[in-house]
Structure 1
Amino acid sequence: MIMENSSSITVIIAGKNFAPVCDYLKNVLPEISLEMVEAKDLIKKAEEAQIIFPAMARIDEKIFKRAPSLRLVQQWGTGLEGIDIGSATRYRVAVANVPTAGSGNAESVAEWYVMAALCLSRKTCEIRSQVRKGYPWGSPLGQALYGRTAGIIGFGGIGKALALLLKTFNMKILVVDKKPDKITAQNIGVDWIGEVADLLHLLKKTEYLFICIPLTAETKNMISQPELALLPKGAFILNAARGSVINQQALMQAMDSKHLGGVALDVYWEEPPKPNDPILDYPNILATPHIAGVTDVSYQGISIQVKENIIRVMKGKLPLNCANPEVRLKDMK
């Protein structure tokens, strides 16, 4: 037995997406009661839950006041923008996430960015049908990553892992971050690092723009029409952070004007996007279903840290990487 009375722990995953989470949770905590619940049924099901994983669902006061046994809202990853942390604290519920660094998640997301950059550069969206048709053969001309300039917004776990990979392509790497880590940047071989206030300098020189920052009030619509206009014509944008860091209308206008060479999206302004979302109609958009961090290595690493947090809160301790460390946990019944 992994922990005393673990069979009495009721865990809910709020939504039917990210199905592999169930397998990895059951592997590290086989005796828990685990259920994936549609968002519309969450309020009722939350009444018995002790642990909730948001899985893109909104977790707010409507949930907390109906969940007397709830002790922890644990994100399977980093993003906490969908959780009302203030309400969680008032209802004595801890909120925690898993940092990208140290879990394998940062490396997996960085791999997605490289994959996406290569797909856009080699016009994979355009050429998929050519092999079956047999023509045109030997075209189109792709663009090499080698020697190009990459701009990375955000230098946390993902930004650092990405910079390491991009250096193997001999890319020139420019970075902006809220708190520039100049020592790590130098060790990796970053060519220039500045503060967020220096973003305009980065954009003017960037051929591949990688968005690696969380969504906050400060970063919402950070990339809009003025910022997009500063990018060199033909630049590529890649986003596996959160959709709303980029202004959607401004992005579509930049695509309509052919200012951008292409865009890779793993995140959207609404998830999942509607089938008729016009952003999906562009031939040079690479779209994936929020899977940048969905790998065996990432999920194994996250599951180990999640297990530790579940054990901690069920023993009356705060979880690791707690977003509301001031919270007074509910008494054990």
Structure 2
Amino acid sequence: MPIVYSTHPLHPNAARLLDGHADLVVASDLTPGTLAREAQTADIVIVRANLPDALFAGAPKLKAAIRHGAGLDMIPVEAATAAGVLVANVPGVNARSVAEHVIFVALALARRFRAIDRDLRHKGWLAGRAHSLSARELDGATLGIIGMGHLGKAIAAIAMGGFGMRVLGHTRRNKGFPDGVEAVARDELLKQSDYVVLACPLSPETRGSIGARELALMPKGSFLINVARGAVTVEDDVVAALESGHLGGAAIDVFAEQPLPADHPFFSFDNVILTPHLAGITEESMERMGVGAVEETLRVLKGDLPVNLVNPSVVAQYRRRFA
């Protein structure tokens, strides 16, 4: 049977869909050399880790690399295309999970949860209660979302419908937003927002796009929430804005270097919520992502193109390879 090589185990309900159609092989480790070597006999690769360019040159049977999720930064699309390999993803399947995480950390920042919990445990009742004097409500606050794809729209729906927040949005085209979301220029969004959420893909245009200049535009005491990619920000500039007190706090799920080094300055701030790139991971989203990736896998194995093909220019070369 065909071999489906996955960088990580799949949700059981997703793995079961392959029964009788393909053999599932899970990577023994995630080093580039291992991934390239173990993928040599694969027909399909399901991706949750960074793939090396060399994997595509050394896998003659490989039909497709299918992202277990939406972001394509883990797949070297140009190398895949040059090798005649289809690339697909499963957009939108974890948007609700990430959106709920954004609201969760926004509430925790607004209500000073980390400080209250810490001081109640270690200093007593009154020390914990003292932080409530500077706590805030989300109702009536302005939330600015940079990136209004599936994720941005899901965040906006919860923020407006559940918490009465004013929502500003910004994308490169600045159109097609849901009702109630105000389209504004990026600088204007930064100036007006009490909470700025980074929900955009990592691209040459967005890499390093939130640095000292952009952070200085944000109101003093405002909050930064990053669920995009770490490299969208200049991390040293975020640290500086926290040290100066200009930023009231931050919630960061993604980092320029992952895993986050134990000596990173982010760990020194009481007003920073850190999570290990898990905003989109829940029981429900893992099933949706796994099932979606396997459904695309089965389409390719049957001879069809993926529904969410992201490199359509490769199709002619792909068909020649498997004519």
Q: TM-score, normalised by structure 1?
A: 0.88
Tell me how far apart the structure 2 counterparts of residues 35 and 302 of structure 1 sit (CA, whole Å): 16
1:278 maps to which of 251, 265, 277: 265
Q: 2:119 is aligned with what amino acid?
A: Q
Q: C-alpha separation between the residues in 2 aligned to 1:115 and 1:193?
A: 24
CA distance in 1 between partners of 2:4 and 2:273 (Å): 35
1:129-148 equivalent positions in 2, closer than 5 A: 129-133=118-122, 134-135=124-125, 136-141=127-132, 142-148=135-141
TM superposition shift of 1:262: 0.8
2:148 alignment partner, SS class: coil
Aligned to 2:281: 294
Note if contact 1:11-1:33 (Cα within 8 Å) is conserved in structure 2: yes
- How do residues 7-46 of structure 1 correspond to structure 2 at under 5 angstroms? 8-14=1-7, 21-31=10-20, 32-40=23-31, 41-46=34-39
Aligned to 1:254: 241
Aligned twin of 1:56: 49
Kindly indicate whether the alpha-carbon contact (under 8 Å) linking 2:253 and 2:277 is maintained by their aligned counterparts in 1.
yes
SS in 2 for 1:232: coil
- 1:12/1:37 contact within 8 Å kept: no
How far apart are 1:241 and its partner, in Å?
A: 0.9
Judged with a 3 Å threshold, the aligned counterparts in structure 2 of structure 1 residues 169 and 116 are, in CA distance, closer, same or farther, namely same
Q: Deviations over 1:168-217 (max 9, x none)?
A: 211111111122334x432xx22x213xxx11111111110011100000
Are the counterparts in 1 of residues 212 and 237 from structure 2 also a CA contact under 8 Å?
Answer: yes
Separation (CA, whole Å) in 2 of partners of 1:226 and 1:39: 37
The residue identity in structure 2 corresponding to 1:38 is D
- 8 Å contact kept, 1:234–1:262: yes
User: Is the CA contact 2:11–2:290 (under 8 Å) kept in the aligned structure 1?
Assistant: no
Q: Describe the superposition over 1:264-316 as per-residue Cα deviations: whole angstroms up to 9, x where unpaired.
A: 11111011112222222222111111111112332232233212211121122
Please show how residues 94-105 of structure 1 align to structure 2 within 5 Å: 94-100=86-92, 103=93, 105=94
Structure 2: how far apart are the matches of 1:280 and 1:30? 44
Q: 1:193 aligns with which of 173, 176, 183?
A: 183
User: Which residue of structure 2 aligns with residue 326 of structure 1?
Assistant: 313
Q: Identity rate of aligned residues, in percent?
A: 34
Matched, 1:154 2:147: yes
Letter in 2 for 1:122: R
CA distance in 1, matches of 2:173, 2:234: 24
Cα deviation, residue 332, structure 1: 5.0
CA distance in structure 2 between the partners assigned to 1:23 and 1:139 by the alignment: 47
Q: Deviations over 1:140-195 (max 9, x none)?
A: 1221111111111111111111111001211111111122334x432xx22x213x
Partner residue of 2:106? 117
Distance 1:157 1:69 in 2: 33
Partner of 1:65: 57
TM-score, normalised with respect to structure 2: 0.90
Counterpart residue type for residue 224 of structure 2:
I
Gapped regions of structure 2 (runs ≥ 5) = none
The AA in structure 1 aligned to 2:42 is A
- Does residue 313 of structure 1 match 2:305? no
| Residue in 2 that maps onto 1:47 | 40
Q: How many residues align?
A: 311
Q: Give the superposed CA RMSD.
A: 1.9
Match for 1:164: what amino acid? A
* Aligned equivalents of 1:288, 1:230: Cα separation in 2: 26
Q: Select the residue among 207, 217, 232 that pairs with 1:220.
A: 207
Is residue 224–residue 249 contact of structure 2 (8 Å, CA) maintained in 1?
A: yes
1:39 partner letter: L
Contact 2:98 2:151 in 1 (8 A): yes
Using the TM superposition, give the Cα deviation of residue 24 of structure 1 relative to its aligned residue in structure 2, in angstroms. Answer: 4.5
Which contiguous aligned blocks of 4+ residues in structure 1 show a shift greater than 6 angstroms? none
Helix, strand or coil at the partner of 1:310: helix
Using the TM superposition, give the Cα deviation of residue 325 of structure 1 relative to its aligned residue in structure 2, in angstroms: 1.1
In structure 1, C-alpha distance between the alignment counterparts of 2:13 and 2:108, rounded to whole Å = 30
CA contact (8 A) 2:96 2:154 kept: yes
Distance 1:287 1:130, change over 3 A: same
Shifted more, 216-225 versus 30-39: the winner is 30-39
Structure 2 partner of 1:3: none
**Cα separation, 1, equivalents of 2:261 and 2:4:** 29
CA 1:132–1:279 in structure 2 vs 1: closer, same or farther (change >3 Å)?
A: closer
Does the CA-based 8 Å contact 1:22-1:34 persist in structure 2? Answer: no
